[in-house]
A and B are shown apart, each in its own frame.
Chain A
Amino acid sequence: MKTAVIQFPGSNCDLDILHVLKNVLHVEAELVWHRDFKDSEFGAAILPGGFSYGDYLRAGIIAAHSPAIEHIKEMVSEGKLVIGICNGFQILVESELLPGALLMNQSTCFICKWVKVRVETDETPFTRHIKRRTVLNMPIAHAEGRYVNDPEGLKELHENDQVIFRYVNPRGEVSEDSNPNGSMDSIAGICNPERNVLGLMPHPERASEPVLSPFSDSDGLKLLSILKS
């Protein structure tokens, strides 16, 4: 299975995720310019982090109008896997492939720091190898990452088991002070009802080599390794 890393104007974690896929996980992956992307060649796609179109208007909205998104929708309907990381998550939300919205952080500024997220479900193709309630170390780096949804939407997410990651404290508990951006229910990552589209704010590619982690671990690989199959 070949994975496409889609490069939008302003993407800036494209080379990072490509490095991890190719050099750390040794999976087949290719960087594809958004205008050149055709879904048929790929088994999975990653929308990388960054600031597509400068985050102008709303993070992700202008990229959501790229022709690449039509091809992504095609892949999704065929049941292929799509992962949006940070800005990629924002693009998926703005493309209505994932529900809700990502607003400006509670603190009103960009936040870059390592956080802990808890795996809420193992009933997705993305987390099927990770035990439920496992706590992962990953960094966040975003200005617009506060997940919000209306009460019904939120209820639906929980009922359908679509919440995949939540921010937690070192004891693995959801708490006010471990929620870095004010996300509702400390949501850090969700999937679609069909469970083949994942969006998350933390950066697994930045947590894939022990040398880069303050904890000398590589928790991001636990997630990304699903692209090996």
Chain B
Amino acid sequence: MLESRVNVNLTPEEIAEAKRRLGREPNEIELGMIDVMWSEHCSYKSSKKVLEILPKSGRRVVVGPGYDSGVVDIGDGDVIAFKVESHNHPSAIDPYNGSATGVGGIIRDILCMNCRPIALLDSLRFGNPQSAHARWLFNNVVKGIADYGNRTGIPTVAGEVEFDESFEVNCLVNVACVGLGRINELTLARMDNPGDIVVLMGGDTGRDGIHGVTFASKTIREDSELERPAVQVGNPFIKKLVIEATLEAMRTGKVTAVKDLGGGGLTCALSEMSSKGGTGVDVELTNIHVREEGMTPYELLLSESQERMIFTILPESQDEVLRVFRKWEVPYSIIGKVTDTGRIVAKYRGRIVVDIPSKLLTEPPMAKRRARKISIITKKRASKPPIPMDFAKVMHHILSSPNIADMHPVYRQYDHEVGLRTILKPGDADAAVLRIIGKNKAIAVKIDCNSLHCYLDPYAGHAAAVAEAARNVTATGAKPIAVTDCCNFGNPEKPEVYWQFKEAIRGITYMLKGLGLPCVGGNVSFYNEDEESGRAVKPTTTIVMLGLIERLSLVTSMALKEVGESIILLGKTYPELGGSEYYRLIGFDGGKVPKAVASRERASIKTLAEAIRRGYVTAAHDCSKGGLAVSLAEMAIKGGLGLKVDLAYVLHTPSMRIDEILFSESSARFIVTTSEVNTAKILSLARRRGVPASKIGEVSASSYTVAMNGKILFECSVESLRESWQDAIPRLIGG
């Protein structure tokens, strides 16, 4: 009887385990709830064990992994909540609505902590722009993020876009949200007090997201596929009202907890909140405000309709809170009470339809996965490509690579100013900088990864991703303080994919420990692979780095500032061109992936931070993607000034070729500019920390000039470089 009506993804062992824990056969509704809660998406059953090795504590950590978002103390009673999540699968089939609802979901995670969302960041990956499908995904994802983010009044301040054929079918859409709150006003999404009133607030509940679960109910069969979309449509207008109503409701002091409804809907929210508080909850499903008629208990418990929040309110105090909801004209329904039973009891028209322990849902059995090393990956080729004849031409080529080129066609579609916090705007620096209004301090945020490096060497690539993000915030004048991450991988049941995942987490852990940084939360997205070809995306864990800028006077951008200033390169250059933009451009497959060594990173970061603190630095830029040549060009373009550098002064390993010096993507390097008088001071700071550093040239008026031992190798006008860099995306994508 049971099996004939419910088609679940649970394995026979999992079903047996569920029965054992429940002490009876679960009914079909309960089985559906278990199915969803024990799914990879909700349970992290393949990843939880691996993620345990990440460092999670630190003196600034207020809330670590396990809640809706991580929270970090930035002093003076202020806290930052931040979280990143993927919305890859919906975006791949409906890029506009898929990316929009991705933004909606991550905003709710910040709201749950009683923090005001103050910034969005996005990390996007698509197939080669030559493909019409990739361009269609790109344009619609950007529009979806813009239309949703802009309407909610949260600025989109930073991001990255990468193009690679492995993302042709499965694009990656990772969106991060940053929130600001007060340490003594934080709330945790847990039901601690039996007797509290449970209220569902926000958008109406419909059958959204349920058709994905293969439940053979009569009502669903009546809905033709033609009438129901495969991806939800978000309503950013309602979201804006939900944000303001939630924050205002919290100010009444009568709300004890808030949680958003995302994957797993009401089931997930109720079970996680009660399980964390060691309580239970009784709800009457008939009270829920609905959009569609005749919804079954199963559908009400598992609907994933957007823009909904669960509130628990002190007994007898609901009027004050509900008045706020009425002012903002957001619908709500009182659906039940917190109990001390440890069970979720759901009634439908007064009849009990579900009675199941919360912890049964939230503590699923872990999956056992096998890992197998992929041996083809670490290629080490002795052969090298021929040295290019015309370096100026290479410069123009590499600056117009879609992975390097100016992304203004993307970020000008985002409102990056709303909120009056954005000091360094998209493109100004390695990270976005947001001030804390009323205080002499700011935060820097960055989202980053290099999927090609991560593919060629998941351990080294991911360690380098953490290091690069840390350097990025450092270059703006910030001290890196915490990280959250978003893992995007193929099918974890395949040992090779699982190996990539384990290596990635090992690499991230190594660098976090080396830099003394905690990981305060994260998200894992598996099964990013094309069903037909079985081809997985390149393993990509995007790193969101948070930095704290202790005084506004420390804020540093990358633009060159003044003719005659010295250009200093911090860090040593190694022949590490495996997976470099230069090799990608000339189609050369080989070379070593840059190796990030924690001690070197730490020394470089500390040197730059100290130089900035002492007021020596006029511009700073991390030297990574595209190498020294590209990083210098970016600084020149931003400043509208030229430069002259001599490669003879670049500190590198012996017998490196010119193209290797120019385009190696070695880690632990920064380019900084400074006045003539402060040049020696920066070099001496570097020496004291054992960081190889040298003055490699000077800022000039308008020409980008590269010499070797005084002999000019090539020269181009900064204006012409700017054109190549600026025109590339409109030319490749249109717009």
Direct contact between the two chains A and B in their complex (CB within 8 A):
yes
Q: Do B417 and A109 touch (CB < 8 A)?
A: no
Within 8 A of A (CB), among B322-342: 327-329
Q: Is the CB of B417 within 8 A of A51?
A: no
> In the bound complex, do residue B415 and residue A112 qualify as a contact, i.e. CB atoms below 8 Å apart?
yes
Q: Establish whether residues A10 and B151, one from each chain, have CB atoms under 8 Å apart when the complex forms.
A: yes
Instruction: Point out the residues of chain A lying under 8 angstroms from B235, CB to CB.
Output: 54
A contacts with B, residue count (CB < 8 A):
31
Q: Which residue of A lies closest to B414 (CB)?
A: A112
Choose one: A51, A113, A206; the contact of B420 (CB below 8 Å).
A206
Interface of chain B residues 426 through 456 with chain A (CB within 8 A): 428, 435, 437-438
Contacts of B713 in A (CB 8 A): none
Q: Given the complex, which residues of B lie within 8 Å of A143, measured CB to CB? A: 150
* Partner-contacting stretch, out of B221-229, B236-244, B489-497: B236-244
Whether B146 sits at the interface, judged by CB under 8 Å, is yes
Q: What per-residue 1/0 map shows which CB atoms of A104-116 lie under 8 Å from chain B?
A: 0000011111000
A13 to B414, CA, bound (A): 15
In the complex, the answer to whether B412 meets A10 with C-beta atoms within 8 Å is no
| CB contact under 8 A between A110 and B417, given known A9-B240, A54-B235 | no
Residue from B147, B151, B428, B437 in contact with A19 in the complex, judged by beta carbons closer than 8 Å: B437
A40 at interface by CB-CB < 8 Å: no
Interface string of A7-33 (1 = CB under 8 A from B): 001101100100110010000000001
B471 at the interface (CB under 8 A from A): no
A109 x B413 contact (CB < 8 A): yes
> In the assembled complex, which residues on chain A have CB atoms less than 8 Å from the CB atom of B240?
9-10, 12, 51, 54
How far, in Å, is B669 (CB) from chain A's closest CB? 27
B417 touches A9 (CB 8 A): no
B416 contacts A209, CB within 8 Å?
no
Instruction: Take A13-B153, A33-B327 as given contacts and tell me if A112 and B412 are in contact as well, using a CB distance cutoff of 8 Å.
Output: yes
Could you tell me the distance between the alpha carbons of A56 and B238 in the complex, rounded to whole angstroms? Answer: 12
- Kindly state whether residue B423 has any CB partner on chain A within 8 Å: yes
Are the CB atoms of A139 and B417 closer together than 8 Å?
yes
| Given A51-B150, A54-B151, A212-B420, A112 and B413 contact (CB-CB distance below 8 Å) | yes
Tell whether A53 is near chain B: CB-to-CB under 8 Å: yes
A185 interfacial contact with B, CB 8 Å? no
Minimal beta-carbon separation of B155 from chain A (angstroms): 9
* Interchain CB contact under 8 A, B419 and A211: no
A223 CB to closest chain B CB, in angstroms? Answer: 16
In the assembled complex, the CB of A140 is this many whole angstroms from the nearest CB of chain B, namely 9
Confirm or deny: A70 has a beta carbon within 8 angstroms of a beta carbon on chain B. no
| B420–A16 touching, CB < 8 Å | yes
Contacts of B438 in A (CB 8 A): 23
Query: A166 at the A/B interface (Cβ < 8 Å)?
Result: no
Asked if B394 is at the interface of the complex by the 8 Å CB criterion, the answer is: no
Task: For chain A, residues 134 to 155, give those with C-beta under 8 angstroms from any C-beta of chain B.
Answer: 139, 141, 143
- CB neighbours of B425 from chain A (8 A): 214
Q: How many residues from B make CB contacts under 8 Å with A?
A: 34
A50 within 8 A of B: yes
A141 touches B417 (CB 8 A): yes
A209 neighbours in B (Cβ, 8 Å): 420
Chain B hits for A113, CB < 8 A: 412
B151 adjacent to A55 (CB under 8 Å)? yes
In the complex, the answer to whether A211 meets B735 with C-beta atoms within 8 Å is: no
> Which of B152, B237, B327 sits near A53, CB closer than 8 Å?
B237
Question: In whole angstroms, what is the CA distance A214 to B415 when docked?
Answer: 16
CB pair B420–A110 under 8 Å, yes or no, is: no
Bound complex: CA of A33 vs CA of B143, how far in Å? 30
B735 engages A212 (CB within 8 Å): no
Option from A19, A55, A56, A141 in Cβ contact (under 8 Å) with B415: A141
Is B366's CB within 8 Å of the partner chain A?
Answer: no
Contact between A111 and B152, CB atoms less than 8 A apart = no
In the complex, the chain B residue whose C-beta lies closest to that of A62 is B237
Contact assessment for A111 and B412 in the assembled complex, using a CB-CB cutoff below 8 Å = yes
- What is the distance, in angstroms, from B413's C-beta to the closest C-beta of chain A? 5
A203→B146 CA distance, assembly (Å): 19
Write the nearest CB–CB distance from A202 to chain B, whole angstroms: 11
A54, B236: Cβ atoms closer than 8 Å: yes
Considering residues A12, A33, A111, A211, which has the most beta carbons from chain B within 10 angstroms of its beta carbon?
A12
A205 lies within 8 A of chain B by Cβ: yes
- Residues of A with C-beta under 8 A to B329: 9
Tell whether, in the assembled complex, residue A211 and residue B435 are in contact, meaning their CB atoms are under 8 Å apart.
yes
Set of chain A residues within 8 Å of B151, measured between Cβ atoms: 10, 12, 51, 54-55
Bitwise, B206-236 to A at CB < 8 A (1) or not (0) is 0000000000000000000000000000011
How far, in whole Å, are A212 and B157 apart by their CA atoms in the complex? Answer: 13
Q: How far does the Cβ of A6 sit from chain B's closest Cβ, in whole Å?
A: 14
Distance (whole angstroms) from the CB of B454 to the closest CB of chain A: 31
CB contacts (< 8 Å) of B732 on chain A: these are none
Complex: A143 Cα to B235 Cα, angstroms:
17
Q: How far is the CB of B608 from chain A (nearest CB, A)?
A: 22
Residue picked from A49, A112, A203, most chain B C-beta under 10 Å: A112
A residues less than 8 Å from B413 (CB atoms):
109-112
Q: Is B327 in contact with A12, judged by CB distance below 8 angstroms?
A: no
B15 close to chain A: CB less than 8 A: no
Given contacts A9-B241, A23-B438, A212-B422, contact A206 B417 (CB under 8 A): yes
Please report which residues of chain B, range 141-173, place their CB below 8 angstroms from some CB of chain A when the two chains form the complex.
143, 146-147, 150-153
CB-CB nearest in chain B for A17: B420
A141 and B417 CA atoms in complex are apart in Å by 8
Question: Could you list 12 examples of A-B contacts with CB < 8 Å?
Answer: A12-B153, A12-B240, A13-B153, A16-B420, A19-B420, A19-B437, A51-B153, A54-B235, A109-B413, A112-B412, A141-B418, A211-B552
Given contacts A49-B418, A143-B150, A203-B417, 10 further A-B contacts (CB under 8 A): A9-B237, A10-B240, A19-B437, A51-B237, A54-B235, A55-B151, A112-B411, A141-B415, A211-B423, A212-B423
Interface residues of A (CB under 8 A from B): 9-10, 12-13, 16, 19-20, 23, 33, 49-51, 53-56, 109-113, 139, 141, 143, 203, 205-206, 209, 211-212, 214
What are the nearest 10 A-B pairs in CB distance?
Answer: A12-B153, A54-B237, A51-B151, A141-B415, A16-B420, A110-B413, A206-B417, A112-B415, A139-B417, A109-B413
